[in-house]
Amino acid sequence: MNNAFAFDERLLKAAAEAEQAAAAEFAEIDRISQHGTAKVLRAFQSQRVSAACFAGANGYGYDDIGRDTLDRVWAEVFHTEDALVRHHFVSGTHALSTALFGVLRPGNVLCSVTGSPYDTLEEVIGIRGSGNGSLKDFGVQYAQVDLTAEGRPDFDAIADGISGAKVVYLQRSRGYSLRPALSVADIAKIVGITRQVNPSAVVMVDNCYGEFVDYDEPTDAGADLIIGSLIKNAGGGIAETGGYIAGRADLVEQCAYRLTCVGMGKEVGCSLNQCRSMYMGLFFAPEVVANARKTGVFAATLFRRLGFSCLPVPGQTAGDIITVLVLRDPAAMEAFCAGIQAGSPVDSYVTPEAWDMPGYESKVIMAAGAFTGGASIELSADGPMREPYAVYMQGGLTYGSGKLGVLQAAQTMLERGLIAL
């Protein structure tokens, strides 16, 4: 590799060895990417995507051909009855909140079977904060089935915990925890338990960071609804904003009523000039997700050689694009994030600092030099400034740039005396 960035030669040697060690895993990632690309291309063709779909609409958005065709493409790719793909969703949390409020009613029970939900959902549910219109304020009860000591779903406890639940909620990604991300096989097992114990319950999956990392999706495993963000995997680094909800048609309709208003739902909401980027983002998504996963595998392989614990462990089935590096030192977190920022194409000259981000209980440090603000399908690294001082790295639009960013993070730590070669 042309050493244009003046990396330590010992670091380049370690990187070359790590890349060679990851070759078999890279090959499997490429096979999954090709499978995902075939699904997307076939859906574009069968739903007759044309240039007219990119024009968008204004006003009320009645008969918006681009919006409506994109919903059908999405439903075909994810093997669902219907989908709601909108730039109106401001984040994955917004899409998840819309789905929860759309499906749940006063007196219903929401049961999370993957332990505590992601930080930004705590106030939505009413676990933290009160009086601001949370689910708890509207009379929705919350129950939780904790994970095992190994961070795995407690399948025996799930069977007991979901008996009265209206929604059985799964978070596929690890969030800010050290647990493994859920595999599609894990989700299939939870769906099977739900159908046996509480067949009328809605199985809802937070699919953020999980799209296209495996051959199948949660809906192939029987999930009723999946929800995600377009500035993560499914937008391919091209969608400028937005999110999606996909699954059973009746449930998607309820969610659409929550997003707009009862009686109108999906029929309104113009796409403006967002359609082309959302179509292109989905088209590129399987390949971009593959690049992000390769970047993560490279980072984990390299940093293990440098003496750090990393997740997922070798040989573990990937459930998301996140790679966790357990650095166990706030200074190491700051150095790693500074390196990722310095290795970014945008805002490489700034230094990230921990701050009180809205929706999070602990201070969070975040490196994200992205073309789209906050787009974690682009190379980024973040984490709460608390024990065990783990940094959560994700993204990488291209493997080459992702690799350089990881090397810059390692170089920064080396220069600050936080690693030894």
Overall pTM > 0.85: yes
The lowest-confidence range among 125-134, 193-202, 397-406 is 125-134
Choose one of 282, 303, 332: the last residue of a domain: 282
* Helix ranges restricted to H, 182-260: 184-197, 249-259
Choose one of 282, 314, 346: the last residue of a domain: 282
Contact (CB, 8 A) for 254 and 223: no
21 and 45 share a domain?
no
Does the pLDDT value for residue 359 go beyond 80? no
CA distance 180 to 271: 37
Note the pLDDT tens digit of each residue in 207-261.
Answer: 999 999 999 999 999 999 999 999 999 999 999 999 999 999 999 999 999 999 9
Burial code (b: 16+ CB inside 10 Å, e: under 16) for 121-154 equals bbbbbbbeeeeeebbbeeebbbbbbebeeeeebb
Q: Which domain holds residue 349?
A: 9-37+286-415
CA distance 154 to 111: 13
Structure tokens at 146: 């904790």
In this prediction, residue 314 carries a pLDDT of: 83
The residue-averaged pLDDT of 185-199 equals 98
CA distance 146 to 115: 4
Q: Is residue 2 part of a domain?
A: no
337 and 404 share a domain?
yes
Q: Is residue 138 part of a domain?
A: yes
Choose one of 231, 263, 282: the last residue of a domain: 282
Q: DSSP string spanning 325-387?
A: EE---HHHHHHHHHHHHHTSSSSTT-----B--TT-SS-EEEE---SSTT-TTSSEEEEESST
* Terminal CA-CA length for the chain: 19
CA distance 196 to 30: 36
Strand partners, 310: 325
Number of structural domains (the chain) is 2
The SS3 call for residue 257 is: helix
Contact (CB, 8 A) for 162 and 197: yes
Q: State the pLDDT confidence band at 20, using cuts at 50, 70 and 90.
A: very high
CA distance 277 to 417: 43
47 and 24 share a domain?
no
235 and 336 share a domain?
no
CA distance 333 to 183: 28
196 and 299 share a domain?
no
Does the pLDDT value for residue 1 go beyond 60? no
271 and 330 share a domain?
no
321 and 332 share a domain?
yes
Q: Is residue 420 part of a domain?
A: no
The residue-averaged pLDDT of 276-305 equals 98
